[in-house]
Amino acid sequence: MDNTSLKAKPPLGGYRKTFGDTTLQEMTGLAIIAIATSNGGAVKVPGRDHNQLAVSANDPLDAPAPGTSNVIHQDQIAIRLLSLRQDLILAVFTAQNNRNAIEALRNKFGRTIPITDQSDAWVVLGLSGPLSESALERICSIDLHQDVFANGDLAQTRMEHISTILFRSGDEAFQIFAPRSYARSFLHAVETSIHNVR
């Protein structure tokens, strides 16, 4: 058993498919870390006592407001911070040099901030190309127009009854996070929707 090493298996085996100029692919090799910021990204809110703290857009720690994201850099690592709600941020980065990335998060949010590794809990689909917006708008109720849902914005919502996080990574590019156990059903939903708008 000495020579045995464990290798993570992506939920869809590294799926990739093109539909004309539109590409749907599984994003693999991502580290996904949940950060509970309830006492970390703290600001004083008028009319509240010191114990009533909340993360807000003018947070001194520069945590993104709910529904938006930003990127922090440290030691050539780019960490995307996706703010899901007032007290929960997902940090997403390429899984390498993870210790340095965790250190960067601790430097930003404090040594005692609760962080949870969720890397293998999600399946992430990357959808890019001219059909991506029209395919997604058929299966989610979020207004995807770029004036409203801009690059870097995200929404925690539901698609085909599956709880998802939808992130706009570019003009015609999205990343969609779904629970790993839904991987195949979720892929089927997105594939079907692309077929329907072709």
Closest separation in Å from C-beta 51 to another protein: 10
| Strand segments (E) across 86-161 | 88-94, 115-117, 122-128, 154-159
Closest separation in Å from C-beta 32 to another protein: 17
Residue whose CB is less far from another protein, 77 or 84: 84
Residue whose CB is less far from another protein, 67 or 110: 67
Residue whose CB is less far from another protein, 68 or 94: 68
Which residue, among 160, 164, 165, 144, has the nearest Cα to 192 in the 3D structure? 160
Task: Look up residue 135 and give its two tokens.
Answer: 């395919």
Residue whose CB is less far from another protein, 158 or 184: 158
Looking at residue 181, the DSSP 8-state letter turns out to be G
Contact residues toward another protein (CB under 8 A) are: 47-48, 52, 65-67, 84-86, 88, 141-143, 148, 155-158, 163
Task: Look up residue 177 and give its two tokens.
Answer: 């996070």
How buried is residue 106: exposed, middle or buried, by Cβ count under 10 Å (0-12/13-18/19+)?
A: middle
Which residue, among 178, 172, 160, 163, has the nearest Cα to 19 in the 3D structure? 172
Closest separation in Å from C-beta 157 to another protein: 6
Closest separation in Å from C-beta 65 to another protein: 8
